[in-house]
Amino acid sequence: MTSTIPIGVTVNGVDHEFAEPLSVRELLAKLELPCQGVALAVDGAVFSKSRWDEPVGRGWTIEVLTAVQGG
């Protein structure tokens, strides 16, 4: 019998678990977060948009950052 190990990640300080592997882009869609006008940091390092189709890794800490105008 094969069991699936959930993929646990933290996004913007909130823990989430997913039963199936998913890409960063799919993660954002599942959590209803924007894909436009945002930047991502994974474990404190910039995660370029060219990598958003890569699978999310177990234990990642992801921050979704939006640009803020003002001074």
User: Who wins on pLDDT, 37 or 4?
Assistant: 37
Predicted confidence (pLDDT) per residue in 14-23, tens digit: 999 999 999 9
**Per-residue model confidence (pLDDT) at position 21:** 92
Provide the token pair at 65: 């950052």
Predicted confidence (pLDDT) per residue in 25-44, tens digit: 999 999 999 989 999 999 99
Q: What is the DSSP string of 17-47?
A: EESS--BHHHHHHHTT--SSSEEEEETTEEE
% the chain with pLDDT above 90 = 77
**Reported pTM:** 0.85
